C-alpha cells in the first residue's frame, strides 16, 4: 500500500507540474521560470498546509518532488508537439493527484490533532492551492475561482471521509472512498460541463 | 468585555468578507471563488501574523471565521441589489474591523513576547494584509498601495497604543484609544479625501 | 568579519528596497505602498526561508531591515532625477545583496540541520523570492522567470559551496567562494547578455 501511495503521489506531482509548465510556456517563461511554476503548482498547496499545521514543508524532507518537477520540465521540452494529444492522460493524472493530495492533506491534519473541519479545509488547500499559486505567478486570475469544479471536489471528498469516520468505516476504506469521490466529482463535472453558478455583480 | 470583542470581531470578519466578495463578483467569480476571496480578505492578515509569531493560525481554532464568511456570501447573493445603499454601513463595519483587528494583532504579538515595534507592524499586517491578498486574487494592484489611508491608520493606532503603554495607561484604555485612533484616522481621511502623496516616477 | 557581513547585508537590503521602490514609483504607488514594496523585496525571500525552516523571521529580531528600507524610500524621493545615472551602482549593490543573501540563506538552513540540497534551495529563495513578491505586488509577471539570470546565479553559488564542503575547504573560504560565484555569474550574464533559453509553447 505504501508503494502504491508513493507511485500515485509521484504521478500527481508530475501531472501538477506539467500543468504549471504548460501554462508558463504560453507566457514565454524561461526554463527556470517554467520549472518554478511547475514546482510551485505541485508543492504549493502542501506547503501552505504544513506551515499552518506547524510541520516542516514535506518537500524539504524528500527530494522526490523537486526531481519529478524536473522530469515534467524535460517531458514538456521533449514532447512539446505531442502534449496536446495527451490531454486526456494529463487530465487523468491530474485527477489522481487531486484525489491523493486531498487524502494526504486530511490525514496529515488529523494526525497533527486538528478538528475534522480543519482537516477538510487542509485537504482542499493541499489539492487546490498549488493551482492558485500557479495562476498568480503567470499573472492570471486563478482558474479555480472562475471555471472549474476543482476545490469543491476536494471538499466533497472531505465530507465523504467524515461520513465514513462517523459511521465507523475502516481507515483504509475511508481514504479510498474519499479519493474516489474527489475523482468522480471532478470527472463528472468535466464530462457534463457542470460548473458552479457565478456570483452576480451589482451593476447588472 | 469578552462578549463585546467577540461581537465586534464577527462584525469585522463579516465586513472584510463582504468587501472581498463584492470585488470578486465584479470579476465574474463563481460562488466558491467569491467565498475564498471573502474568507482570505477576512483571515489573511491574521494568518500571516500567526505564522510569523509562531502560533497556529487563529481561524483553525474556531470555525466562526469560516461561518461568517459564508454568511457574508449569502448576504451578497440575497441583497445584491441593495448593497450599494449599504455602502456607509459597510464602511462603518469595515472600519470597526480594521480597528479591532489592529488591537488584536498588537495584543497577540506582545503576548508572544516580541518588541513593541514588531507588534505595531503585526497590528498593521492583521488589519491590512487581507486586502492585499484580496487584490492579488482578483489580479489587481493592491488598493491600499495606491488609494486609501488604511494601513497608515493601523500604524497610527499602534503608536497611540505605544504612547499609552509608555505613559502607564491601563491596558483596556490603551486598547480602546488605539482602536479609536485607527477608526478616527480612517474616517477623517475618507471624509476629507486625504491620501498619502504618491511617489514620483523617474521619467517625468 | 561580522562587521563586514553586517555592512554588506545593509547594502543589500538598501539595494533590494531601491529596486522595489523604483518599480512601485512607475506604477503610481503612494509612499506607503512604495515602502511596502521596497521592504518586501528586501525581506520577502528570507521570510519564506525562515518560515520553512521553522525560525522566527529574521527582520522581527532587528529593526535594521525596516530602517534601511525607509532610507531607500527617502533616497528615491530625494534623488529621483539622478537615480538613472546610478544604475551601475545599484546593479553592483544589488549583486552584493544577492550574493550575500544566498550565503546567509545556505548557512542558516545548514545550521538548522537540513540537507545540503535544501540549503541550496533556501539560498536561492533568500536571494530571489523577494523580487517575485515585488513583481506580484506591482501586478507583473515575475522578472526572474522571463528575463534575467538571477536565481540561477544563486544555485550555481550553492553548488560551489557544496563542492567546497565536499573537498574540505574551510568554512569562511566556502562562503567567500560561494558569494563570489553568485556575483560573477550575474555580472557575466548581464555583461554578455546571456539568458536562459525560453520554453516553447505548444501552439507554434
Measure the CA–CA gap between A175 and A8, rounded to whole angstroms. Answer: 13
Q: How far apart are the first and last CA of chain B?
A: 54
Instruction: Give SS3 for C148.
Output: coil
Q: CA B159, B43, C34: angle at the middle one, nearest 5?
A: 50
Sorted by where each begins, the domain ranges of chain C are 2-191
**Residues of B with CB below 8 A from C136's CB?**
136
Contact C31 B199 (CB under 8 A): yes
Question: What's the whole-number mean pLDDT along residues B76-105?
Answer: 91
Cα four-point dihedral sign A6, A11, A17, A19:
negative
- State how far Cα B65 lies from the chain centre: 13
C199/A31 CB distance under 8 A: yes
- Which residues on adjacent β-strands are paired with residue C30? B198
Considering only residues 48 to 107 of chain C, which have any Cβ-Cβ distance to chain A shorter than 8 Å?
Answer: 51-54
Per residue in B133-153, pLDDT (tens digit) is 999 999 999 999 988 789 999
- Residues of C in Cβ contact (< 8 Å) with B121: 60, 66
Residues of B in contact with C76 (CB under 8 A): 199
Residue carrying the nine cell digits 456607509: B88
Mean pLDDT of C31-49: 97
Q: Which three cell numbers stand for residue B90?
A: 459597510
Under the banding of pLDDT at 50, 70 and 90, the label for residue C5 is confident
Cβ atoms of B39 and B9 within 8 Å: the answer is no
Residue with cell 529574521: C58
Cβ pair B158, B124 in contact under 8 A: yes
Q: How far is C103 from chain A (nearest CA, A)?
A: 19
DSSP per position, C40-86:
HHHHHHHHHHHHHHT---GGGS-THHHHHHHHHHHHHHHTGGGGGGG
Does A31 sit within 8 Å of C198, measured CB to CB? yes
The average pLDDT across A114-125 equals 97
- How high does pLDDT run on average in chain B? 93
Query: Mean pLDDT across the stretch B42-54?
Result: 97
Please judge whether A145 and B136 are an interchain contact, meaning their C-beta atoms are less than 8 angstroms apart.
no
* DSSP 8-state secondary structure symbol assigned to residue A59: G
Whether residue C202 and residue A81 make contact (CB cut-off 8 A), yes or no, is yes
Distance, CA of A170 to CA of B172 (rounded, Å): 51
| Main-chain phi, psi angles of C201, to 5 degrees | -75, 165
Residue A198 falls in which region: left (phi positive, over 0), alpha (psi -120 to 50) or beta: beta
- Output the pLDDT for position C203: 65
List A30's β-bridge partners, or say none.
C198
Interface test with C, best of B145, B147, B150 (most C CBs within 10 A): B145
Q: Count other Cβ atoms within 10 Å, centred on residue B81.
A: 10
The 10s digit of each residue's pLDDT in C125-180 is 999 999 999 999 999 999 999 887 899 999 999 999 999 999 999 999 999 999 99
C-alpha dihedral, B44 to B17 to C32 to C18, nearest 10°: 40
Cell triple for A95 = 485527477
Q: Sorting pLDDT into bands at 50, 70 and 90, what band is C57?
A: very high
CB pairs under 8 A between B and C: 82
Cα–Cα–Cα angle for C50, B48, B5, rounded to 5 degrees: 140
Residue B149, pLDDT score? 86
Residue C193's Cα: distance from chain center in Å?
20
Backbone angles phi, psi at B148, to 5 degrees: -100, 150
- ipTM score: 0.93
Burial of C10 from C-beta contacts in 10 A (0-12 / 13-18 / 19+): middle
pLDDT grade, residue C201 (50/70/90)? confident
Residues B159-171 have pLDDT tens digits of 999 999 999 999 9
Contact at 8 Å (CB) between B155 and B149? no
Q: What pLDDT score does B203 carry?
A: 65
Per-residue model confidence (pLDDT) at position A200 = 83
Query: Is residue A2's pLDDT more than 70?
Result: no
- Residue B150 sits at the vertex; the CA angle it makes with B149 and B155, to the nearest 5 degrees, is 100
- pLDDT band at residue B185, thresholds of 50, 70 and 90? very high
Residue indicated by cell numbers 500500500: A1
The CB density around residue A8, as the number of other CB atoms within 10 Å, is 19
User: pLDDT band for position B198 (50/70/90)?
Assistant: very high
pLDDT at B7: 85
Place of cell 494584509: B129
Assigned C-alpha cell, C133: 513578491
The residue of chain C nearest to residue B149, with distances taken between CA atoms, is C32
* pLDDT interval class at B44 (50, 70, 90): very high
- C-alpha to C-alpha distance for B164 and B173, rounded to whole angstroms: 8
- In terms of Cβ atoms closer than 10 Å to its own Cβ (0-12, 13-18, 19+), residue B154 is buried
Is the separation of the CB atoms in B12 and B97 below 8 Å? Answer: yes
Return the sign of the alpha-carbon dihedral for residues A49, A53, A54, A55.
negative
pLDDT at C202 over 90: no
Chain segment A51-68, per-residue pLDDT in tens? 999 999 999 999 999 999
**What is d(CA A59, CA A34) in angstroms, rounded to the nearest whole number?**
18
Residue B126 predicted with pLDDT over 80: yes
- The alpha-carbon radius of gyration of chain C (Å, integer) is 17
**CB spacing of B33 vs A144 below 8 angstroms:** yes
* Under 8 Å between Cβ of A106 and A125: no
Q: Where are the alpha helices (DSSP H) in chain C?
A: 2-26, 31-53, 64-78, 87-111, 116-137, 151-166, 171-191
- For A:150-169, CB contacts with B below 8 A are 151-152
State the Cα–Cα distance between residues C36 and C38, nearest whole angstrom.
Answer: 5
Q: Give A9-29 pLDDT, tens digit per residue.
A: 889 999 999 999 999 999 999
Measured in degrees and rounded to the nearest 5, phi and psi for residue A23 equal -70, -35
Mean pLDDT computed over C45-70: 97
What the block records as the C-alpha cell of C85 is 545615472
Interface A:B, Cβ pairs < 8 A: 83
DSSP-H helix ranges across A54-170: 64-78, 87-111, 116-137, 151-166
Contact predicate A53/A109, CB 8 Å: yes
Tell me: pLDDT of C2 over 70: no
More confident residue, B139 or A4: B139
- Chain C residues near residue B136 by CB distance under 8 angstroms: 136-137
Amino acid at each position: 500500500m505504501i508503494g502504491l501511495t508513493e507511485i500515485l503521489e509521484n504521478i500527481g506531482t508530475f501531472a501538477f507540474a506539467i500543468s504549471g509548465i504548460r501554462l508558463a510556456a504560453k507566457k514565454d517563461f524561461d526554463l527556470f521560470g517554467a520549472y518554478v511554476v511547475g514546482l510551485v503548482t505541485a508543492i504549493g498547496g502542501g506547503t501552505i498546509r504544513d506551515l499552518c499545521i506547524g510541520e516542516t514543508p514535506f518537500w524539504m524532507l524528500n527530494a522526490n518532488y523537486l526531481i519529478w518537477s524536473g522530469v515534467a520540465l524535460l517531458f514538456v521540452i521533449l514532447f512539446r508537439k505531442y502534449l496536446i494529444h495527451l490531454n486526456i492522460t494529463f487530465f487523468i493524472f491530474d485527477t489522481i493527484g487531486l484525489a491523493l493530495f486531498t487524502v494526504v492533506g486530511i490525514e496529515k491534519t488529523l494526525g497533527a490533532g486538528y478538528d475534522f473541519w480543519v482537516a477538510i479545509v487542509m485537504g482542499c488547500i493541499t489539492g487546490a492551492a498549488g493551482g492558485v499559486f500557479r495562476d498568480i505567478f503567470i499573472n492570471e486570475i486563478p482558474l479555480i475561482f472562475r471555471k472549474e469544479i476543482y476545490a469543491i471536489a476536494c471538499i466533497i471528498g472531505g465530507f465523504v471521509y467524515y461520513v465514513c469516520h462517523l459511521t465507523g468505516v475502516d481507515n483504509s476504506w475511508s481514504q479510498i472512498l474519499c479519493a474516489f469521490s474527489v475523482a468522480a466529482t471532478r470527472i463528472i463535472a468535466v464530462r457534463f460541463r457542470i460548473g458552479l453558478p457565478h456570483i452576480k455583480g451589482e451593476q447588472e
